[in-house]
Structure formats: C-alpha cells, structure tokens
Amino acid sequence: MTPTITAVHAREILDSGGRPTVEVDLVLSDETVARASVPSGASTGRHESLELRDHDPSRFSGNGVLSALANIRDTITPAVLGRDPFDQTGIDGLLIELDGTDDRSRLGANAMLAVSVAASRAAAASNRTALREQLGGGSMLPVPMINIISGGLHAEGGLAFQDFLIIPVGASSFRQALEWCSGVRTATREILELNGLTTLKAAEGGFAPPLADAKAALDLLMAATARAGRSPGDEIAFAIDVAATHFCDGAGYRLSADSGVLSAGALVAQLVELVDQYPVVSIEDGLAEDDWGGWGELTRLLGDRIQVLGDDLFTTNSRRLERGISSGVANAVLVKMNQIGTLTETLDVLKQADDNFYAPVVSARSGETCDSFIADLAVGTNAGQIKIGSLAQSERLAKYNQLLRIEEELGPDAAFAGREALAPRRRPTPTEQ
C-alpha cells in the first residue's frame, strides 16, 4: 500500500544569521519521518516570492515566522493529510492553489517550501531511495563556486561588489576541487595576516578585508592562487557576484557614498575590463534586476566569452527566465528554491534552463541552515554548478560534505562537471541534432 501523509509539524528555528526560519517534520503512514528547513536571503530581489515574517517588534526585531507556522498548521496541513508523498507535482500544485497569489504572499514561500521539500525527502526515505535518485537520478558532481572575499550586503569591508569567488575548473573530481579551493582559501588568510588585514568572516564565510576596489580583490585572489601552487585560469578561475541592484538608484550605479554615478554602459565597461585583465569566467547580477537594456549590453559584449549569470534578474521564476531567453539576455540562471516556493517549480526552471542552453547554478542563501537538500538537488538534476558559500561554517560545510558522501557512494559512476558546466554552452549544429 502506498504510504500517505499523516502529520505535519512546523517549528521556528534559527538560520546562520541568527534569524528565525521555518522547519517542518512530515510523517507518513508507514512511520517515515522527514525533516526540512528553509533558508533566507540578505541580498534579495524584489521579484522574489515573499518570505513571510511576523513584523512583531517584540520578537526577533520583527523577523519571527509564527505566522508562517500558523499557515502550515491551519491551512496547509489539513489539505495535505492523506496525500501521496510521491505525487510531488500534485502536492506542490495544491500548495500553489492554497496560496493563490503570484508572490506567495498569503502562505509565505518559507511555509510552502518547507512542506514541499519535506514531502520529497519523505518519499525518498519511504522508498529507501537516495534523495538524489528521487530528484532525477543524476550522477554528476557539480563544480563549486566558492566564496573567498565578500563585500556588498554580505560584509562591511567597503567593497561594492558582493562576492569574489573561485571555481576549480581544472579539477578532475569534486574531492580534488575542494582540496584545491581549501588551499587557496588558506593562502588568502595567510596573505591577509602578513599584511595586517582582518581575517574576520562575512555572512557566507568569506573574508571581508578593507580593499580599495574590485581589482584589489582580484589581485588578492591571483596572489592566493599562486601561493597555493595552483595556476590562475587553467586550474582556478574567478567569479564575481556584483549584486548591482543594491548600489543602483534612479540616477544610475554608485559604487561608494562619495563616488560619482555610473551609467549602465560605464559599469559594463568596468566589468569588461576586469574580464580582460583577470581569469574571470562568471559575472553574476552585473546590472540591476530591472535594467534589461544594461543586461542586453553586458550579454552582447561578454556572453560569448564568459558566464553571464542572472539571480535578482530571474529569481528562479520561469516567466522572467523566458523573457531573458526570448530577448537574448544572460546565458545562465542562479537557482534558489526559496525564491519561488516549491520544489516542482524549481525543477521546472532547471529543465527550462537546460532546454535553452542556459547554465543553471544551484545556490544556497546567506541565511542558511544545515539542511543539505541542495547538494542532492544539484547532483540529481545534473545541474553542473553549485554556489554554497565559503569552506567555513557548518551550514556551508553540511552541503559540501554531503557532496563528498554522494561522490563516494557513486564510486566509478560519479562524474565531475568541471569547466564544461559553465556558460556559454555550445548549441548543437543541425547535423548533430
């Protein structure tokens, strides 16, 4: 007999930033119990689904999620009791119907996603199936995009751009990729210490030293890569998360309080210069979330050379991704489950990206928990890339360690995505189709 959902219990826990978030225990009739918790973001786009907060100043500065828990208890639970946990599409469709809004503002994306993910995990556990099998059955370990230096809303070091990351494009396995990146991170710390600069960590575990500008951050990555014995470009490439929305106002882009205002074209020109001078192979959110004209120019100038990655631009939303595809904007999409609110919609965006030669990057958030679901998601769907944060802090390492376990479990069947996972992706010729 197929098991059914018999109980759902939600609780308020804390994420890695000390803010409340939602955790759900979901119970099946065969006594399977599955747990899921959802992250939250500090750098959020205005087109993301709503993360429901209480706005009660007497609790957690208004960030409590008791209202989301009440929605799970009073609305979601009665509707999902007796449902088949293997019917992920049906469960998620029901959640979307119960909410009835485009931005998940009735139930909250945090309430919906916790139940959606818990149902998927329960189905896998009940069937004694590896979670990655439940999520698609892939066997490709993603190349990690690892945060080394932080600025923007993730730190207070003064850098306008949010993250400077390394990608071990020359590694032959996931384990080797982590080893190499650990070496670069250690070398970065040593260089900072030698120069009397802080090694305090930012939200996602990257270092947040006071650096003058993006070139200074990339110079530091160059030096650290060489100090670690790795070759910049061939073995270790660089990525930048500009997060431009957060320094954009009505007049343009302002990199600091006392700097002039840049036009979209001037900011694009700066990014092109960085790509020309350093082994930068991915730029995320190089323009603001609604600057479609600027994004078009960035894609025109760099889209055939590097990965032009949309996060705030797309917010894991199939309609916004379709606009990007149809207008030739960007060539890759960041995939964050809590931006949309259900696993099914996340899987749909991953497939939409793959079908249209956009490279997907499965991503964590700045406010994370130790739930490692996205590690299995990246492997199960053969996404090819994952962005978790730095090689520090348990909420990050939980995902990296799960990927190591998966690689070990797959044994000789494990593949490593490597450089080929990045955009631009080659479209097949007519004779190859």
170 in the same domain as 259: yes
Q: What is the pLDDT of residues 285-323, one digit of tens each?
A: 999 999 999 999 999 999 999 999 999 999 999 999 999
Domain boundary among 98, 128, 158: 128
Residues 156 and 257 in one domain: yes
Percent of the residues in the chain that have a pLDDT greater than 70, as a whole number: 97
pLDDT value, residue 320:
98
| 432 is a domain residue | no
Average pLDDT across the chain, whole number: 95
**Is residue 427 in some structural domain?**
no
Question: How many domains is the chain partitioned into structurally?
Answer: 2
pLDDT of residue 158: 72
Give residue 157's pLDDT: 59
Alpha-carbon span 227 to 184, nearest angstrom: 8
pLDDT value of residue 250: 80
- The DSSP bridge partners found for residue 35 are 25
Instruction: Give the C-alpha distances (Å, rounded to integers) separating 351 from 118, 236, 356.
Output: 22, 28, 9
Active site (catalytic) residues:
204, 336
Q: Within this chain, do residues 151 and 68 fall inside the same structural domain, yes or no?
A: no
Read off the pLDDT of each residue in 387-395 and give the average, rounded to a whole number. Answer: 97
Spatial distance between the Cα atoms of 350 and 340, rounded to a whole number of angstroms: 12
420, amino acid identity: E
Does residue 380 lie in a domain region? Answer: yes
Q: Which helix (H) or strand (E) holds 367?
A: none
* pLDDT tens digits for range 69-95: 999 999 999 999 999 999 999 999 999
Average pLDDT over residues 56-74: 97
Q: Decide which of 74, 93, 128 is a domain's last residue.
A: 128
pLDDT at 41: 73
pLDDT of residue 412: 97
Q: Would you say residue 141 has pLDDT above 60?
A: yes
Same domain flag for 229 and 208: yes
Q: What is the mean pLDDT of residues 350-376?
A: 97
Together in a domain, 210 and 324: yes
Q: What is the model's pLDDT at position 404?
A: 98
What residues contact residue 70 under an 8 Å CB cut-off, 6+ apart?
none
Would 433 be classed as within a structural domain? no
- Helix H or strand E encompassing 151: none
Asked if 88 and 172 sit in the same domain, the reply is no
Instruction: For residues 222 and 199, state if they share a domain.
Output: yes
pLDDT of residue 154: 64
Domain match, 86 and 216 both: no
pLDDT the model gives residue 42:
64
CATH of the domain at 316: 3.20.20.120
- Record the tokens describing residue 372, joined without a space: 């490692």
Looking at the structure, tell me whether residues 46 and 177 fall in a common domain.
Answer: no
Q: What is the CATH number of the domain that holds 83?
A: 3.30.390.10
Peptide bond into 85 cis (omega under 30): no
Q: Is the pLDDT score of 109 beyond 80?
A: yes
- DSSP element (H, E) containing 33: strand 33-37
More confident residue, 156 or 214: 214
Whether 426 is in a domain gets the answer no
**Is the CB of residue 41 less than 8 Å from the CB of residue 48?**
yes
pLDDT band at 147 (very low <50, low <70, confident <90, very high): very high
Per-residue pLDDT tens for 231-286?
999 999 999 999 999 999 888 999 987 788 999 999 999 999 999 999 999 999 99
Question: Is the residue at 317 inside a domain?
Answer: yes
What is the rounded CA–CA span in Å between residue 172 and residue 138?
18
Last residue of a domain, one of 95, 128, 161: 128
Q: Residue 82: which domain range?
A: 5-128
Q: Same domain for 99 and 22?
A: yes
Which pLDDT band, with edges at 50, 70 and 90, does 1 fall under? Answer: confident
Residue 431 has pLDDT above 80, yes or no: no
Residues 320-337: what's their mean pLDDT? 98
Average of per-residue pLDDT across 325-345: 97
CA distance 270 to 339: 29
281 is a domain residue: yes
Q: Are residues 148 and 225 in the same domain?
A: yes
pLDDT range class, residue 425, cuts 50, 70, 90: confident
Residue 256's pLDDT is what? 84
Tell me phi and psi for residue 91, to 5 degrees: -65, -45
The number of residues making up the chain comes to 433
pLDDT at 292: 97
- Alpha-carbon distance values, 41 to 132, 142, 177, 346, 391 (Å): 25, 22, 26, 17, 19
Q: Do 217 and 337 have their domain in common?
A: yes
Q: 148 near 165, Cβ under 8 Å?
A: yes
Structure confidence at residue 220 (pLDDT):
98
Closest by alpha carbon to 173, among 8, 412, 5? 412
**Class of residue 396 by CB neighbours under 10 A (exposed 0-12, middle 13-18, buried 19+):** buried
pLDDT, tens digit, for every residue of 21-46? 999 999 999 999 999 999 987 656 78
